[in-house]
Amino acid sequence: MTKTENTKEPIVVTGIGVVLPNTLSVDRFWANISGGLSQVGRLTRFDGAEAGLPVHVAAEISGFDHHPFLPELNDAHAAKYSREILIGMSAVAEARRDAGLVPGDVEPRRMGVVMSSSRGPSAWWRDVLTGADPTAFGDKGAMFRGLPGCPATLSAIYTGAQGLVTTLSNACVGGHQAIGVALRELQSGAADVMLVGGHEFPILPEVASCYRAMGSGVMSTERDDPKRAVRPYSNDREGFALGEGSVVLCLERESTARARGARIYSEILSAASLNEAAHPTTMDLTGKVTASLIEDLLADAGRSAEDVDYFCAHGTATRYNDIAESRALRALYPERTLGKLPPISSNKPIYGHTFGLAGIINVAATSLMIHHQTIAPTINFTTPDPECDHDHVFEGARPAELELAVSMSFAFGSQTSVVAVGAPS
């Protein structure tokens, strides 16, 4: 392995909190992604036909109860919060629990919370602006329910985190960028623990209309078989399905984690992001810009492209995304034949597209793949697009020696982000 001297203290993942469709624990999350169990189902949140939209499927959370996750939250306070806030808070609390952190383990000012959400409380604002909820301003909770940063700030109050608490909003790269902010806090010595995650609740006709306005091939129109709706890299792909939920990672400086005997899933080696300053809705289609960003990411981690064992893709099942990722791999490995490129897979067919949360889901999934030394598959893969004909993991979970993996995200606004995840030393 090519590895140069890196003097930065390792930052490790010690906890993963998950509130996703039919998924309320890290064990269930792993069972679903490794077993290829899609949580995309029939759309119930709104009637696509009534909205004039050919949208019939989504990955929805139903019947969520926050009480098991937030037992110390007073019901009178919880009544002032929205469903979205309670789900985000629950994911933060679950990440802390999964990490084994208890009061007294970390000095409060050395623990922070950083979240990502591309749209914030869209459902609440929709109801306010359309008059669908005439009681929206009936209590002081309106201030909580209308702010995109409240899942982070209210989580900090619940967990006692007094360090940096903030929320980023930057489309699909926001999750990776939130990890980057948390890394800087930890590597600078400003914090010992950071709870970093995302929350997204885009299953609304207005959001669907935004993407349908971009034309065909962006959102899936599947009607008959919801679980096959999302088919990345396949010739018959139609686009993505909307997904919702919250996932949070507990990141710690390794010395802090080791001192308390914490279980370690993975190491976050580096995070990098750039704005291509090019087309606002289409990512780099040469592959060269993304490849150069990955090279910079790996150099910062003291590694090289030859060390990468796996790529966790953005994998939206849209043509431009799929070929952009494939071309990036070819540009990164110009001397390799297609069959010799590192394996790649996408979890979008399992949980849909979650935008500001997507990068967090990817890094959580990658951390678990490293922990279990198994690559989770891209389900629904049929005949590959000739542009994307390389080593897709589609046959089911694949045992593998995983020492280094790269998570990729692309976003509107000409943005690309990547995170390097390694096996703990």
Active-site residues: which are they?
172, 314, 353
Question: Which residues have CB under 8 Å from 9's CB, separation 6+?
Answer: 186, 187, 253, 254, 255
- For tokens 């710690």, what's the residue? 252
Beta strands in 276-330 (DSSP E): 310-312
DSSP 377: P
Burial (CB count within 10 angstroms: exposed 0-12, middle 13-18, buried 19+), residue 143: exposed
CA distances to 326, 338, 398, 402 from 309, rounded to whole Å, are 16, 15, 12, 6
Residues paired with 411 in a beta bridge? 415
Tokens linked to 197: 């995650």
Rounded to the nearest 5°, which phi and psi values hold at 42? -70, 140
Residues 393, 375: contact at Cβ < 8 Å?
yes
Which of 318, 323, 307, 376 has its CA nearest to residue 346? 376
- Compute the distance between CA of residue 314 and CA of residue 173 in angstroms, rounded to an integer: 10
Tokens linked to 227: 């679980």
DSSP one-letter string for 40-88? -EE--SS-TTTTT----EEE---S---TTT-TTS-HHHHTTS-HHHHHH
